[in-house]
Amino acid sequence: MIELLTTKYTYLVVVALLGIGAYVMIESDNFVKKIIGMNVFQTGIFVFFISSAFHTAGRSPVVQSGGGGGPFVSPLPQVLILTAIVVGVSLTAVALGLVVRIYERYGTINERTLEEVRADE
Amino acid sequence: MAASPLTALPPAVLVLAAALVTALAGRRLGHLVAGLTTGLVTVWVWVAPAGTHLTGTLFGFDAVFFQIDPFSRIVGLVFAFIATAAIIYSWATDASERQTAYALTYVGSSLGAVFAGDWLTMVVWWELMAVTSTILVWDYGGKAVRAGFRYAVLHGIGGSLVLGAIAWHYAAVGSFLFSAAPGGMVGTIPQVLAAVGIGVNVGFIGLHAWLPDTYPRPHIAASVFLCVYTTKTGVYAMYRAFPDGHLMIAYMGGAMAVFGAGAALLQNDMRRLLSYHIQSQVGYMVAGIGIGSALAQAGAFGHVFNHILYKSLLFMTAGAVLYQTGEENLKYLGGLARKMPVTAAAFTIAALSIAGFPGFNGFVSKGIVISASHYTFVKGPLVVGEFYTLELLLLLGGVGTFLSFIKFGYYAFLHGPYEGDPVTSAPRPQQAAMVLVAALCVFYGVFDGALFGLLPFDVTDEAVVHHVYHTYTVPHVVEGLALAAAGVVGFAVLKKPLSKIGRVPDVDAGYNPLVFYGTRALVHGVTETYAAVDRAAVGLADRAAAVRADPSLLSRFRADIGGSIFILMLVLGGVLAWLGIV
Amino acid sequence: MSDTLLPLLVALPLLGAVLAVAAGLASERAAAAVTTLVLAAQTGLAGWLGSQAVLDGPLSVGVGGFVAPYGIELVVDGLSAAVLVLVAVVSLAVLAFATEDAPGGTAFYAQYLLLVTGLSGMAVTGDVFNLYVFLEITGLATYALVASAGTGRSAVSALKYLLFGTVAASLYLLGVGYALMATGTLNMADLATELAAAGYDSPLVLASFGFIVVGLATKTALFPLHTWQPDAYADAPDSVSALIAALVSTVAAYALLRLIYTVYTPAFFEAVPVARDALVAFAAVSIVVGSVLAVTQSEIKRMLAYSSVSQYGLVVVGLAIGTPAAVFGAVVHLLGHAIMKGGLFVAAGAVADLTGARTVDEYAGLADRFPVLGGASAVLMLAMVGVPPAVGFAGKWYIALGAVRAGSWPVAVVIFASTLLTLAYFALLVERMFVAPASESVLAATDGGRDGDDDTDALGPSPPSASRPSRRALALVVGAAVVAIVLGVVVTDLGTALEPTIDTLLSP
Amino acid sequence: MTDIASLRPALAVAVAAAAVVPILVSARRPNLREGWTVLAAVGSFALVASMLPGALDGTVYVADFGPLVAGVEFSLRADPLGLLFATVASLLWLVTSFYSVGYMRGLDEDDQTRYFAAFAASVAAALGVAFAANLVTVFVFYELLTVATYPLVTHDETPEARAAGRKYLAYTFGGGVAVLAGTVLVATMADTTAFTAGGIGALANADPVLARVAFVLLIGGFGVKAALMPLHSWLPDAMVAPTPVSGLLHAVAVVKSGVFGIARVVLDVYGVDLTSALGVGLPLAIVAAATLLIASVIALRQDNLKRRLAFSTVSQLSYIVLGIAVLHPTSIVGGLMHIPAHAFMKLTLFFTAGAIHVETHTDDISEMAGIGKRMPLTMLAFGVAAAGMAGIPLVAGFVSKWYLLLGSVGAGQTVFAVALLLSGVLNIAYFWPVFYQAFFESADDHDAKPLVEFSLGGESRSLLPAESEPDPGTVTDGGHEDEDDHHHGGPPAGGWEHRGWRGGESTWFMLGPILAAMTGAVVLGVIPGTAVFLRLVKVIVTAATGVAV
């Protein structure tokens, strides 16, 4: 069990990031900003994972020859987040591609404007 | 009993088969076949020994399809005989072979009912009789159709009550056979149902209005048939239901005798007048059944026999008048005695018979019933000298009968000269039928022993009846003459006021609108309620469809990206809260 | 021995995607051919491995030689075998339609195979994080496929789906994070024991459950988390609609089932009954509201999409109730719904290709002109309503039986009512198709072509170009109808096959 | 009873179902197509009839096809009760097949192929309902029956027909859902849904509240097709269907499947004793009694003949339900006997209504005065059947009603006896005017109909128009017109022409079936014991109640 108390401040950061990300996605009419919001949101999760791996006085989990050298921070979340970042990047790419397509079709990347444009379709 | 020549072809089946032939054979041949068949059946009933019967199962129940005992024999005999006379009369009055065929089905089903040996068989024929008589009425078209419908509905109700009675009876007894319950209907409910159900047929007061409503409307020959079978089958059934009599029924009979005669007095339509008299006369029979003694029952059945003779004769004469003049209102008739002497003579005989004048058959049988009401029945609340309550009622009915037939005869045959188109005498065949029946009326009046021989109980045998009956005793003849005198005097007094009376409403003027408007209100209430519910449901569906038809109504609720994510966050929050984490 | 082939289930389509791109350099046809071949191989493989798993018990293998719980484990039991086969068969079948309907392009085939990769991966993985990765692969491929219609609308819908889907997946990931914090493991089988050790009522475990369920429910498109789905289904190319409607949410629902019973185990529901209640309530609401929304749609594909919202509600109700009958019913309905809904989307696509008809009103008189297509569609719709002996009935029967046995009366009422709710929108469509006077678009499609002269095809106006549906589309729809009925008839055999799996799943 | 494995019940269903394919294939050759229909009808009737002697001897033919869902076999079982329904349905299908030919061709209807195919499918489903060996199998066919009849209801494709179709689907699927729910409950409580004469034993030990709920669901579900009020409203609306459909399906096969379901539930699922112990028989009987009275009352006001017949059907079906619900052996005999009795009589009535429609385009009773001249045999058949409906002896209706009456009196539930008798009178009131005006009134002088809408004692009317064109709004035949007969309903100017009694009134394709159905009704009314049904019914009731009747 990882000690929650010691990591409480990172926990607040996570909450803040998630909140900001969600807020941007909800409130911004700009698609690109929404995507940024999504990235912020994901980042919050990344931070959450990474911070969960933290161990007081832990070292980077590189096992020295002959073993030992601990305590280490947990390597597993870091590995996971590496993967997640890759996924996130691909998603961002696809999303931006879609925004480009939308801009080509409708000449706007603003959701409200887009609604008006599409209402005339 | 194994099939024998006598049981191979029950009379009802024979007559129904004849009806089919009649309908197809053409008028002349058809009537010939019809007349021969009923004549044959008359003989058959005459010669078949008592106890002849045919058993079997009907719809899975033990049944006696027909049986001959003294009661069914006398009724069946006169039924078959009068059918023959009526067929001759039909042929003489231009009745179509189709109508006569209908009439034969009616005759056949009545015979079936009378000869039935169990309640189930009887009620089958009973219902068929209602149907066939309805069709006989309908056949005339015009006003007869609606009247026939009222007749059908009323008899449907009556038939239903009888069905109910029999079902209850079966629940108690476990068999439909008459022989299984010698005391008739078992239990109070079946008795009430049977009395009321059969009461429709015999014309209990209050249930009688179909008689004057229906019988004046169809063809004149049809009326001759109609006046015979329905009511008399009812009397017979009443005996089967109450072989030991019943106080209330006896008094009802007395009341009917008075009421019918009184109402008849007020009528101007010939056949309507006669119809009320059916009720009155049937009252004597019902009284006889209700008294329940051997003497009374003998009287009742004797009266059935005699009544059929003279009442059919009366309808024949009224029909003959109508046939010649085209007029059925006594107000516009008169003086026909000269033009139609045979008819007038036949009428006179019939009128004297029905009124119970000494020397005519009505005198004999009515006398038995009155005698029974005196000697074998309770005194009742009203006693005047030697006369007891029921007896008084029956005598009073006799006065009324005299009165009204004096009226009929006076206005039809005597009063003034006839002012309509020239009138000739009735056609020979009509006359023949009338004379035949009239002769029997006189015959059975004079030779009362011939009648006694037919009765189910020997009224002259002390061992059989409580009080031996003699037709021609001085007090009895005096009684008959006194009634006649009372009638003549009464008519002289009442002639003026009677002539001022128009059409008098009967009970149906009350219940017809009640039933009709009541039904209408019920029908409207029920259908409108359902329609309202249906409309509401359909309206709801339509409104849903309207939402689809107008997508803009919904598009407001369509979440955009931000909205969607907001909802997601809300749900997340909700779930976490539910799980008790946040 | 067959264990070692498990990774192929993921590797094959992944590799195929690369191959398709390579072949696409030569020609688009080649890409299509490669895709077909790969999917055919995938079908064979899935079928073989699936039958092994059913006959000989679950197969599992640690990827790269790392043994569970440290390495990533791939597991095929009866349940995942069924889903695997479904994914392979449906994707192969829909490909037949896609090659003539979809905008095509090499990228399309690559995305197509990528989607199959993601879906197969979700089905076989025994690792919760790995599941996340496949979830995102599936998502990525789906977003791209939706947008492959090339229209502005599809791009917007894809973007909406993407943002929404990503957030959902992120929530799932967050849930995985909590589980990891609670237990330190990611292997499903391992998690089952570790979570129990951590205590089901510990906040971490509860939080992980909440996040995971909400994330997957979004992917499954339960109300009110469905909002991405009608847009995506409606604006995607018809073949893509068919594919994703048949598979994407289906596999998400499978994942939900897998997590609930393999990871959290029935004991979790025993310990935390509110969790089950929440899920049941959630799904029940979805059944009702989804149907109501479907009734109010005028566009066919949107109607079908909302119908999915409702049907997945039914599936989730079944799996949440958690009696063996109900879970089996949920699985049957999951599979059956994929077939039926896929078939219906193909039919909708074929109709649109033929006549341009896309709304309920435009469908009027359709069956008179295209009796076989109309008839097969009607069979599918009625199967979905739950007319026996089709599979829609079978699923509903088991779910209802489970609900009644569990004594959850309100849920039982909703389940039974769902028949009528489904009927409400499908009857409308059937009526239009069969007994309404033909609409203009339907008439236009067959004018001139009705006399059976094939030559007139070439002369027809462009969008409704043919006078009869393509053989492939027709074969797919009829095939789906037949399968829907056959599945219903052999449901007891399916039950026998899946019984050990479900028993294992539900054993505490 | 001995069970014998035999494919015959399944074949009877399969023959009817299989006919759909050749019918569809031979769409372009009407004679061949109708040939298939007749062939299938003969085939399935022969198969059903071949099982009758066995059924009377206590042999039950069973065709088992393995599990349908877990624990439930898909199994067809020709027990006496099933055979009763199957015999009625398949025999009358044969009669109706001929009639359909006359009717559809007489009107030159569209989509005849679909019509005949759906008809065969409907009968197949009805036979399936008859032979189903357990509740789940019944449910399968019950739903298929709904589906198969839908195209028939909406055959006209008019907005009215579509609305009727929607209502039909909504009601009957609603009923199906209730049946399903009830079935699930029974399966849960008893672990079986197989029909057992005398009831499923395990149900007796179930929670009575649940058992009652399941009973209500099952009866309510089947009650939709049995048109128990207030679930009846689809039936009158479904009369927009072609008349053979109204005749066979909405008076015999479909509605009787509902009634039959109720019989199964009461006799073979719950059993008479348990039904009585749960106290659910009486409420059901009350509903049935109310239905049969209220429907009769509504019928009084209907002017459209088929609608009047429909309400009559609603009413008569409740006779059957009432007989079963009273739970007395005799009343059950009456109720079950009423299945064939009503079938023959009502089929006759619908056939006559259809013949009138085809020949004269007349649908409203108020336009039929004097029509007996034009169609004497047809109206005679109407009269006979109408008399039977009112319970007049020598027609089938009397026998069944008689048993019903005896049963309800015997059970001490006298109020139902009263309802039965009252309904008989109402039957006279709403049927006989149709009959008498045909023969005894004339087009130029008759009472305005329906009687209850006009003044007391009747209002004289003439149909012969002073204005030339009657209201065209009443036409519901989709505008098909006879070339030589362009008026819409009612007599032609100059009154009905006179056609004799030799069949000049219509084609024998219609007259034959009409007379055949009428004869059946009379045969059942005169010698019910010799005609197989009463014997069959007694076998059923003896098995179900343990009392020999």
**Residue A27 with chain B: CB contacts under 8 Å:** 562
Q: Does B210 touch chain D (CB under 8 A)?
A: no
Contacts of D439 (CB under 8 A, 6+ apart): B138, D372, D376, D379, D383
- Chosen from D421, D532, D539 to mutate, greatest number of chain B CBs within 10 A: D421
Find the helix or strand (DSSP H, E) in which D262 lies: helix D254-263
**Residue C381 with chain D: CB contacts under 8 Å:** none
**Residue D181 with chain C: CB contacts under 8 Å:** 400, 412, 416
Of D405, D422, D432, the CB nearest to B167: D405
- Chosen from D136, D138, D142, D143 to mutate, greatest number of chain C CBs within 10 A: D143
Of B59, B125, B160, the CB nearest to D425: B160
**Residue B566 with chain A: CB contacts under 8 Å:** 26
Q: What is the mean pLDDT of residues D184-203?
A: 86
Note whether D170 contacts C416, CB cutoff 8 Å: no
Q: Does A34 touch chain B (CB under 8 A)?
A: yes
- For residue B502, with 0-12 CB atoms within 10 Å meaning exposed, 13-18 middle and 19 or more buried, which class applies? exposed
Q: In angstroms, what separates the C-alpha of C253 from chain D's closest C-alpha?
A: 23
CATH no. for residue A42? Answer: 1.10.287.3510
Question: For residue B6, is pLDDT > 70?
Answer: no
Of B59, B149, B530, the CB nearest to D432: B149
Q: Does A115 touch chain B (CB under 8 A)?
A: yes
> What is the per-residue pLDDT for D484?
41
Note whether C389 contacts D180, CB cutoff 8 Å: no
Q: In angstroms, what separates the C-alpha of B541 from chain C's closest C-alpha?
A: 10
Q: Which residue of D has its CA nearest to B534?
A: D233
**Residue C296 with chain B: CB contacts under 8 Å:** 544, 547-548, 554
Cβ atoms within 10 A of the Cβ of B386, count? 8
**Nearest CA to C249 among C238, C260, C257?**
C257
Q: Which of residues 214-243 of B touch D (CB under 8 A)?
A: none
- What are the pLDDT digits (tens) for C91-123? 999 888 888 766 667 888 888 899 999 999 999
Of A31, A38, A52, the CB nearest to C167: A38
pLDDT in tens, chain C (508 residues): 567 788 888 889 999 989 988 888 888 888 888 889 999 999 999 999 888 888 888 888 887 666 666 778 888 888 889 999 999 999 999 888 888 766 667 888 888 899 999 999 999 988 888 899 999 999 999 998 888 888 888 888 888 889 888 989 999 998 998 888 888 888 888 888 888 888 888 888 888 888 999 999 989 888 888 888 888 888 888 888 889 888 999 999 999 999 888 888 888 888 888 888 888 888 899 998 888 888 888 888 888 999 999 999 999 999 888 888 889 999 999 999 999 999 999 998 888 888 888 888 888 888 888 888 888 999 999 998 888 888 888 888 899 888 888 888 888 888 888 888 888 888 888 888 888 777 776 666 555 444 433 333 333 334 444 567 788 888 889 999 999 999 888 888 888 888 888 888 887 6
Note whether C132 contacts A77, CB cutoff 8 Å: no
**Nearest CA to A11 among C174, C216, C214, B570?**
C174
Number of domain units in chain A: 1
Q: Which residue of A has its CA nearest to C149?
A: A101
> What is the per-residue pLDDT for A69?
65
- What are the pLDDT digits (tens) for B377-425? 888 888 888 888 888 899 889 888 888 888 888 888 887 777 777 778 8
Residues composing chain C: 508
Dist. CA A10–CA A48, nearest whole Å? 7
For residue A36, what are the domain limits? Answer: 5-119
Note whether A22 contacts B565, CB cutoff 8 Å: yes
> What is the per-residue pLDDT for B551?
61
Q: In angstroms, what separates the C-alpha of C275 from chain B's closest C-alpha?
A: 6
Note whether C492 contacts D157, CB cutoff 8 Å: no
- Chosen from A11, A18, A25, A38 to mutate, greatest number of chain B CBs within 10 A: A25
C73-76 and C59-62 beta bridge pairing: antiparallel
Note whether D162 contacts C435, CB cutoff 8 Å: yes
Contact at 8 Å (CB) between B278 and B298?
A: no
DSSP secondary structure code for residue C370 in this structure? S
DSSP secondary structure code for residue C455 in this structure? G
Q: What share of chain B is helix, strand, coil (3-state, %, to 5)?
A: 75, 5, 25
**Nearest CA to B299 among B312, B281, B314?**
B281
> What is the per-residue pLDDT for B550?
66
- What are the pLDDT digits (tens) for D509-549? 888 899 999 999 999 888 887 878 888 888 888 888 888 77
pLDDT band at A11 (very low <50, low <70, confident <90, very high): confident
Alpha helices in C125-263 (DSSP H): 128-147, 152-183, 188-198, 203-220, 228-235, 238-258
Q: List chains touching D (3+ CB pairs under 8 A).
A: B, C
Q: Number of C-alpha atoms within 13 angstroms, CB side, residue D347?
A: 39
Note whether B153 contacts D429, CB cutoff 8 Å: yes
**Residue B560 with chain C: CB contacts under 8 Å:** 160
Q: What is the mean pLDDT of residues B148-155?
A: 89
Q: In angstroms, what separates the C-alpha of B564 from chain C's closest C-alpha?
A: 6
Contact at 8 Å (CB) between D293 and D422?
A: yes
Amino acid at D136: V
Q: In angstroms, what separates the C-alpha of B579 from chain A's closest C-alpha?
A: 19
DSSP secondary structure code for residue B54 in this structure? E
Q: List chains touching A (3+ CB pairs under 8 A).
A: B, C
DSSP secondary structure code for residue C389 in this structure? T
Q: Residues of chain D with pLDDT > 90: what percent?
A: 22
What tokens were used for C405? 């046995």
Q: What is the mean pLDDT of residues D295-312?
A: 89
**Residue D136 with chain C: CB contacts under 8 Å:** 388, 397
Dist. CA B31–CA B92, nearest whole Å? 10
Pairs of CB atoms within 8 A across C/D: 83
Q: Does C199 touch chain A (CB under 8 A)?
A: no
Dist. CA C331–CA C335, nearest whole Å? 6
Q: In angstroms, what separates the C-alpha of B134 from chain D's closest C-alpha?
A: 10
Note whether C180 contacts A52, CB cutoff 8 Å: yes
Q: Which residue of D has its CA nearest to B162?
A: D421
Contact at 8 Å (CB) between C400 and C414?
A: no
Q: Does D307 touch chain B (CB under 8 A)?
A: no
Question: For residue D467, is pLDDT > 70?
Answer: no
- For residue C27, with 0-12 CB atoms within 10 Å meaning exposed, 13-18 middle and 19 or more buried, which class applies? exposed
Whole-number average pLDDT of chain D: 86
What tokens were used for B164? 């109910």
Q: What is the mean pLDDT of residues D68-81?
A: 86
Note whether B572 contacts C210, CB cutoff 8 Å: yes
Q: In angstroms, what separates the C-alpha of C160 from chain B's closest C-alpha?
A: 5
- What are the pLDDT digits (tens) for B269-305? 888 888 998 899 999 999 999 998 888 899 999 999 9
- For residue D144, with 0-12 CB atoms within 10 Å meaning exposed, 13-18 middle and 19 or more buried, which class applies? buried
Q: In angstroms, what separates the C-alpha of C299 from chain D's closest C-alpha?
A: 20
- What are the pLDDT digits (tens) for D245-299? 888 878 888 899 999 999 999 999 998 888 888 889 999 999 999 999 999 988 8
Backbone phi and psi for residue B63, each to the nearest 5 degrees, phi listed first: -145, 155
pLDDT band at B582 (very low <50, low <70, confident <90, very high): low
Coil/strand/helix, residue C46: helix
**Residue D151 with chain C: CB contacts under 8 Å:** 434-435
> What is the per-residue pLDDT for B558?
67
Q: What is the mean pLDDT of residues B562-571?
A: 84
Q: Which residue of B has its CA nearest to C203?
A: B581
Note whether B561 contacts A111, CB cutoff 8 Å: yes
pLDDT band at B109 (very low <50, low <70, confident <90, very high): very high
Q: Does D161 touch chain C (CB under 8 A)?
A: yes
Domain ranges of chain C: 1-271, 273-445+466-508
C69 prior amide bond cis, ω within 30: yes
Pick from B427-436, B437-446, B458-467, B519-528: least confident: B458-467
D491 prior amide bond cis, ω within 30: no
Region of C63 please: left (phi>0), alpha (psi -120 to 50) or beta.
beta
Question: For residue B483, is pLDDT > 70?
Answer: yes
Of D68, D184, D187, the CB nearest to C389: D68
What tokens were used for B174? 């476990």
Q: What is the DSSP annotation of B400-464?
A: HHHHHHHHHHIIIIISS---SS---PPPHHHHHHHHHHHHHHHHHHH-HHHHHHHSSS-TT-TTT
- What are the pLDDT digits (tens) for B14-59? 888 888 988 888 888 988 998 999 999 899 888 888 888 888 888 8
| CA trace torsion C128, C130, C133, C137 (10° rounding) | -110
Q: In angstroms, what separates the C-alpha of B129 from chain C's closest C-alpha?
A: 51
Q: Does B582 touch chain A (CB under 8 A)?
A: no
Alpha helices in C1-127 (DSSP H): 6-26, 28-56, 78-101, 106-124
